[in-house]
Every structure is written in structure tokens, then in C-alpha cells.
Structure 1
Amino acid sequence: MLFEQIHTTCLNDADLPWVPFTPYSERVLVKYFKLDPIRGEVIALMKAPPRGEMPRHRHTGTVIVHTVQGRWKYREHDWIAAPGSIVYETAGSSHTPEALADDAAQDDIVTLNIIQGELLFVNERGQVLASENWKTGWDRYAAYCQANGIEARDLTAFG
């Protein structure tokens, strides 16, 4: 059977590059681990400076965000995500991420993101300005690897 031919795989953090999250930000970096064209899923680390915000966006699928380092929040909510916290976002939710910094800690914010479906960047009226998904992630990753002499790994494959 096909599923018996799929092998467990380990992708090491050090083997994958941090890629600028362009055109949205040169300062926000993403490290892709899995870009799944079958389920429309992206598994990636995201690193952001300790102050600033990303554009408002809406999700077409669920998103799970584990905070590895730093503190952040959504402008639209009262809670603050700190190291070790898990944020679960439902399909259809919209929010504006903000990176937070303490005077004592100037560390980047690092999160592990499991994203199903698309991220739709929207304006203040909710109109879609841009879309991100597994394919745009692949295009960004492959272009970065090519421009920097890095052999791109097939992050879409199983096993």
C-alpha cells in the first residue's frame, strides 16, 4: 500500500534557510519545513523583530501557532502570547499581528505555525489585497535558494 512506502522524515532547523517574507516585510523571516499541496498546509517557523506589526489578514483554514520565543498579540484581542503558548485560529478569523518587546528583552519573536488553507491579506474594509498559501511559499523558498546558491529541498514531497 502507498502509505506503507511513506517514510518518517526529520528536517533539521540548521539545514533550512531563513527566507525574507517579501513582499510583505524584509525584516520578517520564514523557515519552511513543509509545503503540502495535497492538504494545502504550510508548516514553518516565523521570526519577527521585537517591535512592529504585520498586515491584517484573514484565514480560510485553521492555524495553530506555538510561541517559541518573545511575546506577541493580535491588536483585536486582549491576550498576549508568550513562550510556550499555543494560539488556535479558526477558519474565517481576521486579525493584525503585533510583536511586543519588554525593556529588558530585545529578542526576536519566533513562532511555529501550522497553517491550513490561505492567508488573505486585507485592507481596513476587508478587501483582499494579496494571498499566501503553500504555492506562494514554495515560490518564495525556491527563488531565495536559487538567488543564494542553495540547493532547494523538495518540501512538498512525503518521505
Structure 2
Amino acid sequence: MTTTAPTSLDPAHIGGGTRHWHPFTPYSDDVELKLFTVDLTRNETVVLLRAKAGAQLGVHDHYGRVLAYSIAGRWSYAEHDWVADVGDFVYEVANSKHTLVADPSEDIVLFIYLEGPIHFLDGDDNVVGIETAQTFADRYLQFCRDKGYPEPDLSPF
């Protein structure tokens, strides 16, 4: 991954067509990510998440804040009684454990900003996977190499 220092304080523009949807394996074949940026120093990740109607993303625990904005579809967390709809914003505090569930009637798309690692858990709350800005970047860059896509600069700031 390119890690050049910024040459100015100008905003960086990342065209949506310069990034590709890729599967969020091994956690779900029905969830895809479009990775925009990572900050390895702060362990921050900015992505779009797309999930098929009725898809679930297993129980996971965030160790930093998560900010999510609903672009398409309805979704919820299995552990809570609210449902997020188009235009809704969800703020998650650190140590928030939950299971994402897409409404069975339509696909969802979320804009997500993540701080810190995510721990995926089994039914006994044992950690079965850890995701960080580095693992998100590594997965996406490998996907680009495998598909013959140019490897983008994921840290343009």
C-alpha cells in the first residue's frame, strides 16, 4: 500500500468508480465492501457496505466508534429493537456487540466509518476473527491483484 505523506492540505477526491465491491469473506458471502480509505496509524477505515436482502453479518464487537449512514434498505441489529431506514444515522460506542441483519425485503447499502478493530465472535463469545484497518486494506489489495485491477492508494490523506 502506498503511504506517501500528503503534499498539501487540499481535500482528496476519490471517485466511486475507482473502487470495486469485494466480498467480506470469510465472514459472509452475502456482504460486500467498497473500501475508500484506511488510516493505519489511527486504525480507521471508511467503506460502503452492501448486503443482500436477509443477509446477516455474524456477532462482532467494535473496539472503537462506528458511524453508519443508511443509503439503501432497512436493517437492524438482532440485539436491539430499532430498525434503521434510508437516511438514518447510527452511532455506535466502543465495545458495542451486535449482529447486523438486513431486512428480508431488499438489499442494503451503508456508508461506514470505523475506528479500531472489530472482533468476530462465535456462539460462546470466543474471538474467531479480528479485523483492523490493515486487514481491510490487505484483503482489498489482494482482491485487486487477483482481479487484475490497479491497486489504489488507500491512504491519500
| Shorter-chain TM band | over 0.9
Q: CA RMSD in A?
A: 1.5
Q: State the identity as a percent.
A: 35
1:137–1:3 CA distance, 2 compared to 1 (3 A): closer
2:87 is aligned with 1:100: no
**CA distance in structure 2 between the partners assigned to 1:25 and 1:75 by the alignment:** 16
Residue aligning to 1:111: 110
User: Normalising to structure 1: TM-score of the pair?
Assistant: 0.91
2:22 is aligned with 1:19: yes
Q: Is the 8 A contact 2:45 2:133 kept in 1?
A: yes
Q: 1:41-88 CA distances to partner (integer Å, 9 max, x unpaired)?
A: 000000000112111000110001101000000011000000000111
Q: Is the 8 A contact 1:20 1:27 kept in 2?
A: yes
Residue aligning to 1:140: 139
**CA distance in structure 2 between the partners assigned to 1:3 and 1:153 by the alignment:** 15
Match of 1:42 among 45, 56, 68: 45
Partner SS, residue 48 of structure 2: strand
In structure 2, runs of 5+ residues without a counterpart are: none
Q: 1:9-29 CA distances to partner (integer Å, 9 max, x unpaired)?
A: 111111111011111122211
Q: Is the 8 A contact 2:6 2:156 kept in 1?
A: no
Code of the residue aligned with 1:6 in structure 2: it is L
2:9 is aligned with 1:6: yes
Residue aligning to 1:126: 125
Moved over 4 A (4+): none
Residue 7 of structure 1: how far off its partner (Å): 2.7
Residue 147 of structure 1: how far off its partner (Å): 0.6
More strand by proportion, 1 or 2?
2
In structure 1, runs of 5+ residues without a counterpart are: none
Code of the residue aligned with 2:26 in structure 1: it is P
User: Normalising to structure 2: TM-score of the pair?
Assistant: 0.92
Q: Is the 8 A contact 1:61 1:116 kept in 2?
A: yes
Residue 5 of structure 1: how far off its partner (Å): 2.3
**CA distance in structure 1 between the partners assigned to 2:84 and 2:102 by the alignment:** 10
Partner SS, residue 156 of structure 2: coil
